Amino acid sequence: MEKVYYGHIIEAEYLKEMLEEEKIGTMLRNEFAESGLAGYMAGQPGYASLYVSDEHVEQAKTIITNLTKNKE
């Protein structure tokens, strides 16, 4: 899996849903929340990383670029 996005968790959740509509499997990681469960704090509150499988990286990056470009 490869990270294709890092940013605010709300936008990461939105992008995750959009990729899954295109049948691209995703994994969302919130390091801050995960580290808190482990007893130490790492990462930034409110931010998450979005991962996709290696075979979908280019397609996912294109979709993310188009979606984020249209928001501006």
- 50-61 confidence digits (pLDDT tens): 999 999 999 999
pTM of the prediction? 0.77
Structural domains in the chain, CATH included, are 2-71 (3.30.70)
pLDDT in tens, 21-66: 999 999 998 765 554 454 555 556 578 899 999 999 999 999 999 9
Predicted local confidence at residue 60, as pLDDT: 97
Report the candidate in 29, 25, 30 with the shortest Cα–Cα distance to residue 53: 25
The pLDDT of residue 68 is: 87
Strands 26-29 and 47-52: antiparallel
